[in-house]
Structure 1
Amino acid sequence: MVAVATAGEARTSARFFYVWMAGLCALIAIGGFAGTYWLQWPVGTFVGSRLLHMHAVVFTAWPLLFLSQTWLQANGRLDHHRAWGLAGIALATAMFLLGGATAIGGAAHDLAEGRPPAKVLGFLVIPLSAITMFAGFFAAAVAFRGRTEIHRRLMLLATTAVLPAAMARVFFLVNTGGGPGLRPGLGMPLPVERTIAPGLVVYLIIVAAMIYDWRTRGRPHPAYLIGLTLLVAMLFLRVPLSTSPQWLAFADGLVTMSRY
């Protein structure tokens, strides 16, 4: 009886661990954009298009939905969890489309402002690769929706994939001090290598989850090992990729098509 109770407690603890991880993701997503969006928008100091407002709403809705879904799963509300999962598919699709459109539209604007094409098109690798990684992990999570242990880890990986942008805002505020109307994207695009540090900080979420796995199941789940390897590899591969002729030609083609 003691062994059965202990196993049940361990399963409950594991379920609520993901609630805490989802809560941390939501805190980073909302808190990271607070100084450059959420605190500026109500007082009218935010500078940006309607597309950016749509982007903000959709990308904020995702971590909140993720938190809600982990809470429903942890409390055994699986019928509601599955029903809201359909909304999650729609929201993830909107994120992919809006994320790509916002990034490409921003690049087109920067080029129209006369900023160096190599820097503008090179920087485009960051948001497009992030949203592609999100889409890949999310699609895999949907494919493994019947296998909870894989599904929830892939969902955490998907959410983490889009959080470096929020953490980069924290770095921006620390470096600049912030202020009314100030946000990344209004000036010259940053060197791609400057985005490595925010990404590594965010990916500590996956490291923490792997440590938890190690303590509770004796080893990290393969989903984490593969997912973290892909995330970190992309983080560093962006640097040479952003200056390659192949990427610059591809990015230029995307921006050109967006004008028609």
Structure 2
Amino acid sequence: MTEAALRTGAKANASHQFYFAMALTCLAIAVLGFMPTYFLPMAQGRFKAEPLVHIHGLVLFSWMALFCTQTWLVAQGKTVAHRTWGMLGVAIATAMVFVVTAVVSLRVAQASLPGQPEGLAHQVRAFAWVSMGGIGFFAMLFVLAIVNIRRPETHKRLLLLATISMLGAPIARWFLTFLAPHGGPPPTPPPGLPLVGAPPVFVAVPPALLGDLLLFLAMWVDWRTRGRPHPVYLIGGAAMLVLHLTQVPAAESPAWQAIAAAIGRIAG
């Protein structure tokens, strides 16, 4: 009986340490990903953006930091503190939905102003699907995690999957840094109009799929420890892959273009 209890405890501790390591990995990807395009330029005084953009960055990085902290608390056996800080997670996740929607609305509205280059509004509305589809998927997984808060094996996997689904954005910054063409003068906006731009939607697909590799690592660990991957990874992971693989047709669809235009009208 004692040996069985010790084996069970050792297995649980190994699981907690694995999820903490995964959370640290997600945080590191987020920080390193935005280092060349946000943190360094901001430290050097070269990053100019609306205050809303900085709020957006603060809120999303807050999630990464809290997720890492929460997994550390569980790994240390501090479950009471973990539950207490969970209320902050609800607040941050809610703020994420609103702030991402606000930034998307602002960019779509700016791209739709009279005088902007032809086709810009369509391109910005299309790329808005990457942000809105991603935050919608995150929100769905987060709600399911809250519903399953008394089922820790399901709860922690839903939150890990939700966090992995966000990694395409920081990974894409390294693609832009090392693969974007260099040279030539920086783009200038039309007179009296804000500078707005968005890459083609297809460039968001490879970074998202690269981030998805962490899902397969989690599934492999499940296979080694449980004998099979958890249904959260099988069903939720399949949904995440479909979301990432269908970004281009979804973004170009007339239905999404109409929805994105309506989101843009929120900002005027």
Q: TM-score, normalised by structure 2?
A: 0.90
Q: Specify the code of the residue in structure 1 equivalent to 2:95.
A: A
Greater shift, 169-178 or 131-140, is seen at 169-178
How much has 1:176 moved relative to structure 2? Answer: 3.0
2:26 — aligned with what? 25
- Quote the Cα distance in structure 2 between the aligned partners of 1:178 and 1:187: 19
> Retained in 2: the 8 A contact 1:123–1:190?
yes
Q: Map residues 9-88 of structure 1 onto 2, 5 A cutoff.
A: 9-88=10-89
| Whole-angstrom CA distance in 1 between matches of 2:16 and 2:266 | 45
Which residue in 1 is equivalent to 2:238?
A: 229
Q: Cα deviations across residues 8-54 of structure 1 (Å, max 9, x unaligned)?
A: 21111001100000000000111111111111112210021100000
Q: Which runs of 5+ in 1 are unaligned?
A: none
* Structure 2 letter corresponding to 1:239: V
Q: Which amino acid aligns with 2:124?
A: V
Secondary structure of 2:145's partner?
helix
- Aligned-pair distance for 1:177? 7.6
Match of 2:148 in 1: 144
Distance in 2 separating the partners of 1:88 and 1:230? 23
1:135 shift after superposition: 0.4
Which residue does the alignment assign to 2:265?
Answer: 256
Contact persistence 1:122–1:243 (CA under 8 A)? yes
Alpha-carbon distance in 2 for matches of 1:82, 1:244:
42
Change (3 A) 1:178 1:91: farther
Equivalent pairs, count: 256
Aligned equivalents of 2:148 and 2:5: distance in 1?
Answer: 27
1:172, 1:178 within 8 Å by CA — same for their partners in 2?
A: no
Q: State the alpha-carbon separation in 1 of the partners of residues 181 and 65 from structure 2.
A: 28
Once the two structures are superposed, what CA deviation does each residue of 1:55-114 show, in whole Å capped at 9, x if it has no partner? 111111111100000010111101100110001100111111001111221222233333
The equivalent residue for 2:254 is 245
Larger-Rg structure: 2
Deviations 1:227-249 (CA, angstroms, capped at 9, x unpaired): 11111101122211111111111
Counterpart residue type for residue 225 of structure 1: L
1:115–1:76 CA distance, 2 compared to 1 (3 A): farther
Report the alpha carbon displacement of residue 7 of structure 1 after superposing the two structures with TM: 2.4
Residue 192 of structure 1 corresponds to 201
Equivalent residue, structure 1, for 2:192: none
Q: CA RMSD in A?
A: 2.0
Write the distance in 1 (CA, Å) between the matches of 2:22 and 2:74. Answer: 14
User: In 1, distance between residues paired with 2:118 and 2:255?
Assistant: 20
Query: Structure 1 residues 244, 127: CA separation in 2 closer, same or farther (over 3 Å shift)?
Result: same
Distance in structure 2 (CA, Å) of the matches to 1:111 and 1:53: 23
Q: Does structure 1 conserve the Cα–Cα contact (< 8 Å) formed by 2:107 and 2:264?
A: no
Aligned residue for 2:117?
114
CA distance in 1 between partners of 2:178 and 2:237 (Å): 27
Structure 2: which 5+ runs fail to align?
187-194
User: Conserved in 1, the CA contact under 8 Å of 2:20 and 2:75?
Assistant: yes
Distance 1:226 1:169 in 2: 28
Letter of the 1:123 counterpart: F
**1:160 deviation in Å?**
1.3
Give 3-state SS (helix, strand or coil) of 2:264's partner: helix
- Is the CA contact 1:36–1:178 (under 8 Å) kept in the aligned structure 2? no
Distance in 1 between residues matched to 2:31 and 2:104, nearest whole Å: 19
The offset of 1:115, in angstroms, is 5.2
Residue 101 of structure 1 aligns with which residue? 102
User: Which letter does structure 2 place at the counterpart of 1:173?
Assistant: T
Percent sequence identity over aligned pairs? 36
- Which residue of structure 2 lines up, in the alignment, with residue 132 of structure 1? 136
